[in-house]
Structure 1
Amino acid sequence: MLHTFLNIVHVFVCLFLILVVLLQQGRGGGMGSAMGGATAQVFGGRGAGNFMTRLTAACAVVFMATSVSLAYLSSAGDRELREFEKSQEK
């Protein structure tokens, strides 16, 4: 159940991270300015840059945490198998 929950969170954070990165205004304008004037006002400027940067960093931290957690949980079966093999050798 935990594995399924982490998979769902991981996929949503991944998609949200992609969206946040694409909305950031880069040197060439980015998707924020391509969507029209209202979006460029919301996502443009310095104030939104700090917010978007922090949002990107938070999403990246959650993405890395779920990645490490999923890797650890998926290797749990390998650890149990090694423990079982060691107990059978004795």
Structure 2
Amino acid sequence: MTEGTPDPEPGHPLQWAEGKYFTTAGESASLYVRQVVNSFGDRPYTVAQPNIPNSVLKGMSPVNVDSGIPAYVIPNESLPNLTPNIMNYSPIPGVQ
């Protein structure tokens, strides 16, 4: 799970002003976390992999946040419908 300030591409307007940003891959979440920790001195983040129902994503397109990381903006009112899986590791970009 990541949060950031969205930078929508043309043709991809944000439907909600407030929500959480979920990347499309664990590696992208780890890249975001590394950027935030290195840039702002934040404490380490926990990476969570949610189960997002298709009904929540209906009509959404990913937007690029924080240096081009693809993410879906999930509105706050939909967050209680998500089931998180807290990961005990952070996926490393470029390593499989």
Q: Shared fold (TM-score greater than 0.5)?
A: no
Larger radius of gyration: 1
Higher helix share: 1
Choose between structure 1 and 2 for higher RCO, CA contacts under 8 A separated by at least 6 residues.
2
Instruction: Provide TM-score, normalisation by structure 2.
Output: 0.27
